[in-house]
Structure 1
């Protein structure tokens, strides 16, 4: 009988077998129009346009158009070929063999080989915020020939095959980084003018305005991309972005590119549509992160007092206009397999907050103030500033004087993750498709590293939590893994190094003339090789 690849994968997983997965051609149902320019809204402007050492949302949208990964994914996260055409996993989960695509060239004309794969994985293991966990068990990457890469592991990594897409694990040209010290990789010039294998070639970056990407005439997928050009536009003002979609100036944007207060009105326009697909790899989670080096926030009673001063339903409905779910544990509601639903938010109770602060020895002074805190917020979305403003108001009610420091995105990253010049920050860290990759980085003591964006900003250190996270990261039995993640969530709920807030729902807003923009789990983080513009629509 005939069975689909998905059915085959399930059968193989159930029996413990593995097999090479052959290339499956993308079935085109209609002739694609060639040419045209796509105006792609990305906000805020990213600090770099290569995801090698950064997981900023803007970086993840731009980088894959230029620099590709080994795999891409269907909406159900079934892997599909990109730079790898076939893959084989050993029965013990310790060896991953990838057959690489032949006749692929870097944008500078050099050939793509297995040496690039081996070098990229070594870099990702050392400089990528999540890659340090993703590839932690990699002992070596062997290159028996130019088109074969074999990843050897010391322990199983049950999440590894899901982490190999371009926005997460880009493959970079080894020859570009020859002689570069590891410490200098994040600031290497290739981050600002990348050389990749992707369908679009970097042309220019005018800071504060735009990035221009041009069609790669030598792309390995003959006939693609269909577009001549992608112009990445940076427009800080949300109202201006909404107006641009209305007038047709902008073609597409992801992660709720216009203010949620305008979304219902804009999506009702005849030329505009929205798509909630393409976020299956994200698991978006918002949180308040405490700097545990702060003299006040070291005390768990103070952290619990602040948690009691927050009404998550108010944040959901007034800040995010109902686009999300209350999510009080480190694991997003979008990852139900590992979510402990028995954990509830701290009750909104200002009297309990006051009592805890009194017990901690921080009585109100003659002016009613107990102490001062510095609040900041990720500038990726205007909603995070509103979260900070909400927190400031409620902290005032319990005797904490809070000031808000607002920065552009690059400065924010530096202030929080390098200078540590904050006390509480309203942050946004996606769970991704697995807690080991998206959640562990926030709470794992070994991921506290000055200058590493989106890492353990709280400087949280609990050996029991470390052990649970490290054990879960290599556990191949899902029921045991679930138990480990449940135990981890209970400790975090009790110790509150972070107040988890809302799992956000995201949509892509697009002009109806833009086709094939969301064809898999990566959505607007894909390479856009399939995107085309159909004139006369929208």
Structure 2
């Protein structure tokens, strides 16, 4: 699961517990929502929504033009934009903008801010995770037109829903916007930065927000020491919302009075590999045979049981999200779904055929180098740590030694971005619309990676494949639902299964626990107005805006 990290001292825990338990003093409704995003380690002040190390901002402080709900296939919700329309051949996108919007410093938001942002993203590769190549023209204060060099229907949800509009009058002064830490964020969103400390920070309601001031007046983000601390805080009633595993989640209403839970499939848990030696990756994991051997050596049934309380599910090596993308699952795959049980004989055969020889210690080696790899994980992510401890025992049976290395989130994220790892555990996220095209274009496109030492965002595996790139280019030209798209999905899935730059583990069932006694308006399976994960942006901001203190 994609998460972010931070750490909390005992005094802060006690203070938070005293301030946040129940519904507030005297039974009065309280308007401060306390959230835990799963972080372990001090917050590093960075509210640049385009930086891989940003701690908050998309949706809360900075807004997109529209909100696309990946939890439910519904029409996009107008945000800074009110309408959009494609021309007949998908090369021109016309957007109407909201007129009554101000930046939090009082300056008026106009179409010039939109053009500035889109131009900035287009010319700054480190910010351009969507591969945006459009040319933006201002028609007037409330209208822009984006022209693309080719049919670009699939760019729509990314440009409209995943690019955060920035104030030109401030950001034009930054020479390197990709690395700007943005300590004093000025946005159009429903929240502004309140106080900031290394162990916690607060977003406060924007009183001049165009959509009306939120009923939740403050959102306080706490840093804890990891998943267990999150469970303890939940049991103490000192947090209102967290997304992560807890013991006996099925009995949450009995074990954690006042709380409820919701679990939905979303991200795909994988071993990320620095896979591309041509871009500077080093280690045995650059050999596809090693990645394939690990893939077949996993006992996913055991990992699901020991690490994930069996809330995760099967995963396809072609990285379509199941069951959502069942109709797009390629029949050209060797394994339509990754095997839940290990095939040690197949792993041995793959390694032997690739020239590896098993030593007296049972570990394979090649050219005198044993098959021993380090896998990075964030300290405090107990489910992932358990998964790796389990996997390390499993892989010894096929002659591969992996050693988990626990890091702070900041160290881990920096290593992930720069490609300074052999393996790490994380999850592959979905895009702004329910279509695997976006996952492919983010994590498997040459356009979204970089040589080791430079920041890749988010093709952290450094995967580069001309067949995949060509298929993505063709998919981009055709709108969703067109049957002509399937051969291109097939081509991508076959290559991903062949090379496994991200080694599939399981589809993550994302559990969130929330305080139903103190606040109303939470997403439910009957009302999935946003994906209910506290670290999912901009979905979390949609939740914050919908919540009301109980009794109001």
Question: Which of the five TM-score ranges fits, normalised by the shorter chain?
Answer: 0.7 to 0.9
What's the CA shift for 1:352? 2.5
Give CA-to-partner distance per residue, 1:13-37, whole Å, 9 cap, x none.
xxxxxxxxxxxxxxxxxxxx99721
Does 1:437 pair with 2:438? yes
Change in 2 beyond 3 A, CA 1:368/1:502: closer
Aligned residues: 486
Change in 2 beyond 3 A, CA 1:175/1:262: farther
Backbone CA RMSD of aligned residues: 2.8
What's the CA shift for 1:276? 4.2
Change in 2 beyond 3 A, CA 1:188/1:55: closer
Asked if 1 retains the 8 angstrom alpha-carbon contact of 2:130 and 2:158, the reply is no
* Structure 2, unaligned runs of 5 or more: 1-27
Task: Show the counterpart of 2:203.
Answer: 213
What's the CA shift for 1:445? 2.3
Structure 1 outlier segments of 4+, above 6 Å: none
The DSSP-based 3-state class of the residue aligned with 2:138 is strand
Change in 2 beyond 3 A, CA 1:123/1:336: farther
* Structure 1, unaligned runs of 5 or more: 1-32
What's the CA shift for 1:126? 5.1
Alignment partners' CA distance in 2, 1:403 and 1:529? 43
The DSSP-based 3-state class of the residue aligned with 1:508 is strand
What's the CA shift for 1:215? 1.8
Task: Show the counterpart of 2:547.
Answer: 531
Equivalent position to 1:87, from 84, 104, 116: 84
Give CA-to-partner distance per residue, 1:231-269, whole Å, 9 cap, x none.
11222332332232233221122x33xx34342343434
Alignment partners' CA distance in 1, 2:464 and 2:190? 43
Asked if 2 retains the 8 angstrom alpha-carbon contact of 1:125 and 1:133, the reply is no
Change in 2 beyond 3 A, CA 1:304/1:349: same
Change in 2 beyond 3 A, CA 1:461/1:160: closer
Asked if 1 retains the 8 angstrom alpha-carbon contact of 2:46 and 2:181, the reply is no
Task: Show the counterpart of 1:5.
Answer: none
Alignment partners' CA distance in 2, 1:48 and 1:339? 42
Asked if 2 retains the 8 angstrom alpha-carbon contact of 1:48 and 1:54, the reply is no
Alignment partners' CA distance in 1, 2:531 and 2:126? 19
Does 1:123 pair with 2:120? yes
Task: Show the counterpart of 2:5.
Answer: none
Alignment partners' CA distance in 2, 1:47 and 1:284? 25
Equivalent position to 1:368, from 359, 362, 368: 362
Give CA-to-partner distance per residue, 1:392-444, whole Å, 9 cap, x none.
222322223322221111111211221x3321222212123332322222222
Give CA-to-partner distance per residue, 1:89-137, whole Å, 9 cap, x none.
222222222221123111111111111111222334455779433524x
Task: Show the counterpart of 1:303.
Answer: 291
The DSSP-based 3-state class of the residue aligned with 1:500 is strand
Alignment partners' CA distance in 2, 1:381 and 1:129? 28
Task: Show the counterpart of 2:498.
Answer: 494
Does 1:313 pair with 2:297? no
Task: Show the counterpart of 1:29.
Answer: none
Alignment partners' CA distance in 2, 1:234 and 1:157? 41
What's the CA shift for 1:379? 5.9
Alignment partners' CA distance in 1, 2:496 and 2:92? 34
For residues 318-357 of structure 1, the aligned pairs below 5 Å read 318-329=306-317, 330-333=319-322, 334-340=324-330, 343-345=336-338, 348-357=342-351
| TM-score, structure 2 normalization | 0.80
| TM-score, structure 1 normalization | 0.82
The DSSP-based 3-state class of the residue aligned with 2:178 is helix
Task: Show the counterpart of 1:13.
Answer: none
What's the CA shift for 1:79? 0.9
Equivalent position to 2:35, from 35, 40, 57: 40
Alignment partners' CA distance in 2, 1:163 and 1:48? 26
Equivalent position to 1:290, from 260, 269, 273: 273
Task: Show the counterpart of 2:220.
Answer: 231
Change in 2 beyond 3 A, CA 1:466/1:80: same
Equivalent position to 1:506, from 495, 510, 513: 510
Alignment partners' CA distance in 1, 2:298 and 2:200? 38
The DSSP-based 3-state class of the residue aligned with 2:294 is helix
Task: Show the counterpart of 1:15.
Answer: none
Alignment partners' CA distance in 2, 1:529 and 1:321? 31
What's the CA shift for 1:309? 0.8
For residues 172-211 of structure 1, the aligned pairs below 5 Å read 172-181=166-175, 184-190=176-182, 192-207=183-198, 209-211=199-201
Alignment partners' CA distance in 1, 2:411 and 2:377? 11
What's the CA shift for 1:381? 4.1
Task: Show the counterpart of 1:8.
Answer: none
